[in-house]
Amino acid sequence: MLFGKRERTIRRIAIVEDEPLVAFDNEHLLGEAGYEVVATVDNLADAVRAIQEQELDLVLSDIKLSGEGDGMDVARAAAAKGVPVLFVTGNCPIEAQTFGIGCLAKPYSDKILKAALDAIDETLQGRKVKKLPPGLRLYEQA
């Protein structure tokens, strides 16, 4: 198929976000875009449970979470299962590069989030991304 859509590597996503409106908006947007949101949680314990119990292709995680722990702890748990993490946060710490595939700066639009997921998908398929959407930084993977 010459102009057909490429098969996505990312299909099943967990959202880890402590701001309810952002979490709801992301869940709705991703569902409408054809992704399966398998969990939307706001704390480390629920995030780790989702990572351990669900088949995931990507975790979208804020750095700041409700309760104890943070997005870096989520990323460590995801890395142990081989699940990539895209941080979505206003301030991405330098150590995020160790565990994340990238960081998308808040605030972002629906269009930018979808473009960021497309760029991550291309990266996971081993393709070079020509132009990153505004606010997205990709990290070199070991």
At residue 3, the pLDDT reads 53
The mean per-residue pLDDT over the stretch 61-72 comes to: 95
The identity of residue 34, as a single letter, is G
Number of domains in the chain: 1
Average pLDDT of the chain, as a whole number? 92
pTM, two decimals, is 0.92
* Domain of 40, in residue numbers: 12-126
Whether the per-residue pLDDT at 92 is higher than 90: the answer is no
Q: Across residues 15-41, what is the average pLDDT?
A: 97
Stated as kind and residue range, the H or E segment containing 52 is: helix 44-53
Write the CATH number for 30: 3.40.50.2300
CA 6 to centroid of chain Cα atoms = 20
pLDDT for the residue numbered 141:
56
Q: For residue 87, what are the CA distances in angstroms to 7, 11, 21?
A: 23, 17, 17
Judge whether 136 lies within some domain.
Answer: no
